[in-house]
Structure 1
Amino acid sequence: MMPVEMGFLFVLLILGCLCSFVFPDTQGDALYALKTSLNASAHQLTDWNQNQVNPCTWSRVYCDSNNNVIQVSLAYMGFTGYLTPRIGVLKYATALSLQGNGITGSIPKEIGNMTSLCRLDLENNKLTGEIPSSLGNLKKLQFLTLSQNNLSGTIPESLATLPILINVMLDSNNLNGKIPERLFEVSKYNFTGNNLDCGHRLCESDNADQGSSHKSKTGLVVGIVIALVVVLFLGGLLFFWCRGRDKGYRREVFVDVPGEVDRRIAFGQLKRFAWRELQIATDNFSEKNVLGQGGFGKVYKGVLADNTKVAVKRLTDYESPGGDAAFQREVEMISVAVHRNLLRLIGFCTTPTERLLVYPFMQNLSVAYRLRELKPGEPVLDWPTRKRVALGTARGLEYLHEHCNPKIIHRDVKAANVLLDEDFEAVVGDFGLAKLVDVRKTNVTTEIRGTMGHIAPEYLSTGKSSGRTDVFGYGIMLLELVTGQRAIDFSRLEEEDDVLLLDHVKKLEREKRLDAIVDRNLNKNYNLLEVEMMIQVALLCTQATPEDRPPMSEVVRMLEGEGLAERWEEWQHVEVNRRQEYERLQRRFDWGEDSFYNQDAIELSGGR
């Protein structure tokens, strides 16, 4: 058994790494925008990943116990870009340190939105323009350092209204005009090296130079103190938790279902819900709250006690000996898959007869709904939104396949499982569910999970799935986006057309009838070249042989315009050879057009 100290440090590291899976997207977006605007090189801030929702694990970023960014320290890194206005989103940040770089441009007025700032240090850069009056909104600001820049104009009167300002360094700029009287009352100030009117006052306090020369050390000390406080706080919580656990302490939870347990997953930020909570939230799983139903069970809209809207998935087909423990392990695996294009798992509930998963409610529902189930008056998805959905879905699947350990295979990729958030950004849902309901099986899944028309041929024939199985389903989803039609539609038989959407599109593509492929609801408001590109990607993804399909990382690149032309030309060459071989065989055996074997041959050579 490992020593207590090592166990403490290990658990603390785990908590630190996983403390931020529910972090708001906007803070990560703002920090990544800052990295871009500062012209960070390929070797700087390499762990600042724009697709990682939570920036609390990024270097030089510090968060509090609630996963709010409280400090950003990017001093002396040689940046030459500008300050993005989006940094104003960091309203919980108490310290922003960017001194000692070559940052140009003006100080964005949006910094005035960072109302928790105690320290703002932009010393020794190449900033120009005026000091924004919005800095007067920073009522908690104590240290303001703008020395050694090229700032001009007057010192805004709003700075004099800051109630607890104790240190203001504005020396070595091009400022002019009169200095607000209140600024002479702070403990340390330095206005030298400007064209300012200091009146009968000294332009520098007696200890200003000392403060200026030790600002970086002070910032370091403050950062260390904050870090120690956070570590001690987490350590204290962990200590009491461990003691309670050793004494057999168990938190009381209201349980009204026999056999329901209160084992809690100390991993990520998952919540274990009581059955009663979800029963009340969904109005006893009322049919009027059903959002959808699929192979894994029904999904209900629910409202928790704090008025949070959620989607509750009630899983079916899961019974297995010892299944509860296996189920929890798989839930843990799903919970650590965090990406802006993946649906975040909030929590779960298990009883001897039930398994439920709780997700955020997506107010714009699914892509399938927006394509085919709209109520009168609701707008259809426009073409730019469909393009964003295609790329976002591809990025989410790429993350599951190539950045999760172990990797996660979705096994039911379709428009109905791609949800839309309030900004109509794609959010892939239901990933990992096939594994959850198959915990009693071996690693080789023998039961087919998925939706007909979306299932890859090798999965149907062998029952074995892989990442390329998802690629096939993704290709069909692209065709749904372009056409607005279902993967299987028997109404097409009335027009003597193909039942399968893939065969229908391939036929029209060979005939160069792209306009006949596109969803009529778009009313010709689309870019035909972009339609052609998306169809090409879809057909490459739906090739018959799994090895011929591109991995999702390559799909992302092709959708971004890289490498598609070469891959498509290669595929066309193969298809021509296949078609010629089929025609040769047809002439050789002289099969009738309506022959069963002829139909089967077409199916096998169809690249599905």
Structure 2
Amino acid sequence: MDLASVLLLLTSLCSSSALAELDSQEDALYALKVSLNASPNQLTNWNKNLVNPCTWSNVECDQNSNVVRISLEFMGFTGSLTPRIGSLNSLTILSLQGNNITGDIPKEFGNLTSLVRLDLENNKLTGEIPYSLGNLKKLQFLTLSQNNLNGTIPESLASLPSLINVMLDSNDLSGQIPEQLFSIPTYNFTGNNLNCGVNYLHLCTSDNAYQGSSHKTKIGLIVGTVTGLVVILFLGGLLFFWYKGCKSEVYVDVPGEVDRRITFGQIKRFSWKELQIATDNFSEKNILGQGGFGKVYKGILADGTKVAVKRLTDYESPAGDAAFQREVELISIAVHRNLLRLIGFCTTSTERLLVYPFMQNLSVAYRLRELKRGEAVLDWPTRKRVALGTARGLEYLHEQCNPRIIHRDVKAANILLDGDFEAVVGDFGLAKLVDIRHTNVTTQVRGTMGHIAPEYLSTGKSSERTDVFGYGIMLLELVTGQRAIDFSRLEEEDDVLLLDHVRQPH
């Protein structure tokens, strides 16, 4: 056999192997879609005719086309989990929280040896926790809260070397908790029949875990408390006089400190040249917007991926450098369907840049007030989805992140829209970490006028309620289409602040 024939044979074998891998991933994902009882309008592009599953929604792949992430949170699935998922040996994140999934957790999940995060919270799963999960040596986050799991906690979980967060609360587990699990930084075993609590050697929850017998979602609370908070605008007149005559959004920022408790997640470090080429040397025509810490540019990477590049300003100041550190360290580990995912970053002696996915439908503010001719307006069902998606993103920041995160600048311009018009909360990396044992987290006042809670402005102390107030103002923007603060209303002798404006009889 000549050399050319050998090379042709090897090429054919490699291509066959790659295609077989793609087919295996495709089969596993399609089996998941079927087992979850996805409705006809869900996961519509999970189609076997689309050979490469990396093009499917809610699926992410690495550069070698291996599926590394599946995110199917809060989609209302009522089916069960398929054992076929166990063949995705490159999968690092599997998130199915907030559905109505029934049945057992397949023992084949123990084959997901690359898995870093498994989140099956708030479903209707039954049966025992598989002993095979002890094979997941890279697993860091295990969340099985709010299900109907029974039996004992398998001893195999105690041998997981990377585990830093385990949430098993609100199930029907019983028996002994493996002693090693009490040394994990964050754990919660409340709401079970286990050997923990006030009458035992160990409490059922770590100091930095959410306390209580149930870890139920706070979305209803976030939405419901808006009505009560909108009447607290006793400083509205003060805001008016301070910012009378100002036509644009005004940012207030006092230097804060960098919190260095968080290490870098799995993100890419870009070279300056890569981003310079991607943005056409940061051309003015590629500017998507400008926030309190710099301009955002649209870019296209060498592989054709569209990105949004935030070029930070004043990075040498305490605020600028702290903002960069917080965003890179925090956003890289805050992973949720309704949060903007950080792709990577770039640092030079003179520049600090952050790289995010490009949101093709831009922001809620754009869709409400800056539409071009022929572009569709947001219909009411979409606005409702945006409101719920934003609440879910904030609930994750407040209750799931460790340490908790306060956004402090919730507004329509910071709620982005992906290709399916799902809400994606952005710009939260500039928020100060929240120590769960305190309600006041910082004296740093940051935000956009018209969105800042009065008590935050007057005291400098923020909490989850700060974001709830901003969320309420964002809801008013979503319903009325108007800006939170608009000095053009002075011409009609109307209130500058949207909150005051909607409270007046018309």
TM-score calculated relative to the size of structure 1: 0.42
Larger Rg: 1
Identify which of structures 1 and 2 has the higher relative contact order when contacts are C-alpha pairs closer than 8 Å and 6+ apart.
2
